[in-house]
Structure 1
Amino acid sequence: MDPEITSLAQAGGAALVALMASDAWQVTREGFVQLWQRMQPHRADAVAAQLDAGRAETAAAAEADDQEVLRELRTEWQGRLRRLLVARPEAAAELRRLLDEVAPGAPLDSSTVTQRATASGHARIYQAGRDQHINER
């Protein structure tokens, strides 16, 4: 599997699900439906319906703070985008352009780190999204 396709699909899926719960949803939805209309017109109506269902699921999951459902939705859309990019590699440029339009500045690396911590008393919490070096004396 081409790592660039995988990375782009991951970024696209993550951005899409994040945008499902935003004010930019309508523009995002139209952009993704148009992408499928150009690349796989026979699937565009089904994708539009899946996008609408995904938005409803995202709203319910966000309200319930159900991170597992949001993670599953990201994975589903990452898979759909990966399959589209494998079948139609020329879609990569359009997907990049669409992501630049609807999610400018979003990294094309979909690595997401969610951290939560609670401390009380004299406790210390050290969190890092990657490497962390602590030198206490």
Structure 2
Amino acid sequence: MSDVVENLANEGGRVLVTALATGLVGAVRRIPQLWRGVSAEERMTAELERSAGELASAGPEDTIARSRVAIAWETRLRDLLLAVPEARPELEALLAELRQEHALVRQTTTQHITASGSNSLAQGVIGGNIYHTGASAAGPGAAPHDRGAQDGPGAGAAG
């Protein structure tokens, strides 16, 4: 088996699972057409729907389900490429389209941080930037310049 077929099948399984898990249906619906013949195409359409259902019920954090579905599709695609080598350019084009569609989907993450009490601190990283917020009132441990001149060393001492 050639490395090209192995790599394409591996990538195909991963890209297909990512597309199914994120709800992309454009090019995914054309994957079964790679199998020549009506009965094979119908069988692969049913497998695709079963895989989509399995991923939907598993949820986005279930890496075991994602791996299981990716391996199944990797095997199917490898078998297809070995049996029908002329399907390779079509598969490559569909995978490129799926990668492009996936790049257009924005995944957002919401993070809630609550800090309460004296000297509380809340911090987090958003989009690679660090935002640091804390209480503005001076309290124990605050830098001398934050407390004011009357609270600094030697305050009230005669000179």
TM-score exceeds 0.5: yes
Equivalences, count: 102
Which residue is 2:15 aligned to?
Answer: 15
TM-score, scaled to structure 1: 0.68
Taking CA–CA contacts closer than 8 Å with sequence separation of 6 or more, which of the two structures ends up with the larger relative contact order?
1
8 Å CA contact retained: 2:20, 2:52: yes
Larger relative helix fraction: 1
Which residue is 1:87 aligned to?
Answer: 83
Amino acid at match of 2:82: V
Provide the secondary structure at the position in 1 that maps to 2:59. Answer: helix
The verdict on how the C-alpha distance between 1:83 and 1:40 changes in structure 2, with shifts beyond 3 A counting, is: farther
8 Å CA contact retained: 1:13, 1:77: yes
The verdict on how the C-alpha distance between 1:7 and 1:40 changes in structure 2, with shifts beyond 3 A counting, is: farther
Structure 1 runs not aligned, ≥5 long? 107-137
Alignment of 1:28 onto 2:38: no
Structure 2 runs not aligned, ≥5 long? 103-159
The two structures, once aligned, show a CA RMSD in angstroms of: 1.8
Identical counterparts, % of pairs: 31
Provide the secondary structure at the position in 2 that maps to 1:103. Answer: helix
Larger relative strand fraction: 2
Structure with larger Rg = 2
TM-score, scaled to structure 2: 0.59
The Cα shift of 1:5 comes to: 0.1
Post-superposition Cα deviations, 1:22-66, rounded to whole Å, max 9, x if no partner, equal 2322x1332102222xx3443110100110010010112225x22
The verdict on how the C-alpha distance between 1:17 and 1:46 changes in structure 2, with shifts beyond 3 A counting, is: same
8 Å CA contact retained: 1:16, 1:28: no
